[in-house]
Amino acid sequence: RQRLTEELDRPKLQLLALSSVGIGLTYFLVWRRKAKKSIPLGDGWWGHGQQTLRDDNKIYPFKVETSEDEINDLHRRIDQMRYTEPLEDCGFQYGFNSNYLQKVVSYWRNQFDWKKQVAKLNEYPHFKTNIEGLDVHFVHVRAPHRPGQKVLPLMLVHGWPGSFFEFYKILPLLTDTKDDLAFEVICPSIPGYGFSEAPHKQGFCSLDAARIFLKLMERLGFNKFYLQGGDWGSLITTNMAQMKPQCVSGLHLNMLAVTKRGVGMLLSLIIGPYLPFLVGFTREDVRRLFPYFEKNVYDLLMESGYMHIQGTKPDTAGCGLNDSPVGLAAYILEKFSTWTDRKNRDLEDGDLEKKYSLDDLLTNVMIYWTTRSIIPSMRFYKENFKTNPQNRVDARTGIFVPMGHAAFPNELMHCPLPWARWRFKDIRSYSYMPRGGHFAAFEEPRLLAEDFVKFVRKVEGKKR
Amino acid sequence: MLLEVLLALVLGAVVLLVLRRSKAAVLKTEDGWWGAGSPPAGAEDESIRPFQVETSREEIEDLQRRIDQTRPVPSLEDSQFNYGFNSTYLQKVAAYWRNEFDWSKQVDKLNQYPHFKTKIEGIDVHYVHVKPKNLPEGRTAVPLIMVHGWPGSFYEFYGILPLLTEPANADDVAFEVICPSIPGYGFSEAPRKKGFNSVCAARVFLKLMRRLGFGRFYAQGGDWGWQITTNMAQLDPTAVKGLHINFAPVENVGPLLILSILLGRRFPGLFGFTELDVKRLYPRVEKMLVEPLKETGYFHIQATKPDTAGRGLNDSPVGLAAYILEKFSTWTDHEFRNLEDGGLERKFSLEDLLTNVMIYWTTGSITSSMRFYKENFAKGFYPPHARIPVTVPTGVAAFPNELMHTPKLWAKQKNHKLKTYTTMARGGHFAAMEEPGLMAQDIQKFIKVVEGKK
């Protein structure tokens, strides 16, 4: 030993020490990058006044109900509608066309059967449970027991102006399958939407909704589960995966918002149309993204007025809509027309009934109407835009759970795979869907279900 | 080094300015027709018909019934007016409206001045025509058109009308005032066809003044009224003797403007910036980006989906009141956002505020009033008239709480004959209604400068 230390004189020792530190540091940095980062859970309480000590963790069954009074009041208000003539030849360019609105309203008044729709809603079991001071509503659909079938837990989260009801067509496709894989599905309502109680305090954003939904899954006894979402549901499920990656088996999204702009994005926008393969774009990406200014800036400006007013003055924006069912229907259904296909803006009837039935569309509207939740639903925009969305902790943190993306051609924004990779570090499936828009589960339940199951099989297949 | 660069930039800017000035163009426009279907053969009916605002038992009972049917949603704790109109205070306003507000009495008040309607370009245009009653011998009243904006109406001018038509001071000018309603607002018929923008409104109002026999007149306006009267001066500079505005947002961003934004805080004197200018413009990001973003949601949705935005408001009077009165609160003073009652009754009476709302309610014109936003941005943010300067004598009354602040330097870029620029002592966006005395004073000051120079 003495000979060793003699040979390693001071400079050599220093070099050895330095290189050890250097290697250690490099290894540490590399390992850190690969290590799964999560965002803090935080906590909150959203009830009236001061927080009560008593914490009720019970889960109560819930039934959607209606009454003669409720239906008569609705009819009375519909009858009181004060019609405004639309401009000549304007289609849906100025918003929901008044002429077509009269047809919708007439159906609503005379043919729509809310009692029948309520019975339809109650076909699946509903529950409520109190989390962080709020009654959180959810639908819980179990798979019928089939021998040899693996049943995986899954949470589906809706967005605005949707609801849990958007998933009613896809639920049987996921729960009642005939093959070896089925799902037990939880469809909650975001607090402030539909049958979930609205927060009474300021500041309730997607991070809080994510934490509440994680607590919900925990309360229901699920340690590991899949998540699927679009619109706000996409952000909330992403936050859930960031908060407790160890609980999330996989995350499937049908909408991806690009938050990290920068040189990379700029380069791909400049080079993309001409040499797409150089920046990782496919031909389909080019088709969907360009002309960039028209499709992504101009179109987005045209379509984001609602977001701007809801993100700043939600109480004002929703006030009239809570008294006028016709106004509420026009406001909500305009999105189901335009966000399904932007070309619908040029049509007199917005092609609303091409992909949806009036019964389904109005049932979704009724959920907002009967629960008076339009204003709280709009507040969610303001709460999420209070801090610069690009600086919030979740925007600066990656997502390390297995992810799958179904890119529908008529979605509001297209996110090519190279851009998705900036934040999602483990993308297992990326599919260009053949048709469909923003309300994917509602419009193309079969396509979405197929892609989701395909994603799950990939994840389950690779699992160890 | 910096000084050299600065001087070079300033020189360059001046050269550019001089070059641009010499290219001053005249605003062109074509005729239009806004009625239903195709224009009928033959000449238009140019008669001027007297008009009376009317109401009925049914109208008032229907309103009260709807107010009773309001489904209020409580505001978040401690949110005041930051999320929009506060729910608790809204219920107070609704209760007053339901139980104390007397619409019949207000209708009589509206009718104290003579109203008229006349058909121009296929639609009925409404206006109030007020002549001075006690004009001394040999004096003629100076004709003046005053144009309102959104969500205002001709009624905003009822406080200032007596000050202009019957001035207390003997050597003040007495005006003969025309207060029209923009087509699609209040008692003016709404256009049936797409494309009715501020230039069309300006053309219609020029025809109106001509029809009433006014060859030369003054124009006053704020909000859309500013845009329309400015377009009038651009379309026919010989008809508009002088233009007085209380709102002058920048439409064209030039090198001098950019320079002043970048350096104005450090070197205010270089650009003629006053203390108020610096206070209103800096810090830049907060005052020029964040604040406007916070307050332009309505603008964005009305400029894209007006028919959707107005739909619910035409059935719910309380919803309509919340939407409109939120502006009367926040645009009078941004600080009012932090008050439980939005400071609404500090500068206005509920009676006056609700009369304005009733004008939108009884005429069902909220949707058509919103369409004006879409029509004006159909061609983007730089339509032809934004690039053409104003060459008639102009006076700017800069109220300290106006939505967008315009220093004198910026106003001069657009208005090449800026005769007066007054930093007003107090007041916000609805200047004529909030501070009629101050506004009337400034109009007099402006007129005297213009008439004195003749």
State the Cα–Cα distance between residues A178 and B147, nearest whole angstrom: 70
Which of A3-17, B218-232, B334-348 bottoms out in mean pLDDT, i.e. has the lowest? A3-17
Confidence of residue A293 (pLDDT cuts 50, 70, 90): confident
Q: Let me know: does B405 contact B246? Beta carbons within 8 Å.
A: no
B85 touches chain A (CB under 8 A): yes
Annotated catalytic residue A438:
yes
Please indicate if any CB of chain A lies within 8 Å of the CB of B193.
Answer: yes
Kindly list the residues from chain A whose CB atom is less than 8 angstroms away from the CB atom of residue B337.
none
Q: Running DSSP on this structure, what letter comes out for residue A52?
A: P
Tell me the C-alpha to C-alpha distance, in Å, between residue A67 and each of A113, B73, B351, B420.
12, 21, 39, 66
Q: Whole-number mean pLDDT of chain A?
A: 92
> Which of A153, A140, A66, A401 is CA-nearest to residue A253?
A401
SS3 per-residue string spanning A80-100? CCCCCCCCCCCCCCCCCCHHH
Cβ contact B76–A81 (<8 Å): no
Closest residue of B to A99, CA-based? B307
Between residues 1 and 60 of chain A, which touch chain B (CB distance below 8 Å)? none
**Separation CA A155–CA A389 (nearest Å):** 24
> Which positions in chain A touch B71 (Cβ < 8 Å)?
322-323, 372
Give the separation between CA A382 and CA A199, rounded to whole angstroms: 13
Place of tokens 């040899």: A148
Q: With an 8 Å Cβ cutoff, are A315 and B315 in contact? A: no
pLDDT at res. B330:
96
Amino acid at the residue B405: H
Q: What is the pLDDT of residue B154?
A: 98
Q: Closest Cα partner for A376 from B340, B73, B338, B324?
A: B73
pLDDT tens, residue by residue, A129-155: 999 999 999 999 999 988 889 999 999
Report the range of poorest mean pLDDT among B78-87, B139-148, B251-260: B251-260
Return the residue matching tokens 């010989």: B238
What is the DSSP secondary structure assignment for residue A246, as one 8-state letter? G
Q: Which of A274, A252, A288, A236 is nearest to A409 (CA)?
A: A288
Residue A464: which pLDDT band, with cuts at 50, 70 and 90?
very low
Classified as helix, coil or strand, B425 is coil
Best A48, A79, A100, A323 member to test B by mutation, with max B CBs in 10 Å, is: A323
Supply B203's token pair: 């053309």
Question: To which residue do tokens 């919803």 refer?
Answer: B319
Q: Which two tokens stand for residue B418?
A: 């800026």
Contacts with A303 from chain B: Cβ below 8 Å: 304
What's the CA gap between B97 and B361, in Å, rounded?
Answer: 13
**Chain A residues touching residue B151 (CB < 8 angstroms):** none
Q: What is the Cα–Cα distance from B64 to B51, expressed in whole angstroms?
A: 26
Q: 3-state DSSP call for residue B407? A: coil
Closest chain A residue by Cα to residue B366: A84
The tens digit of pLDDT for each residue in B151-166 reads 999 999 999 999 999 9
Q: Contact at 8 Å (CB) between A224 and A244?
A: no
pLDDT digits (tens, 9 = 90+) for A385-442: 987 777 888 988 999 999 999 999 999 989 999 999 989 999 999 999 999 999 999 9
Residues A266-290 have a mean pLDDT of 87
At A207-261, the pLDDT tens digits run 999 999 999 999 999 999 999 999 999 999 999 999 999 999 999 999 997 766 6
Cis check for the bond before A161: say yes or no (omega within 30 of 0). yes
The distance in angstroms from the start CA to the end CA of chain B is: 47
In whole angstroms, what is the distance from residue B14 CA to residue B407 CA?
18
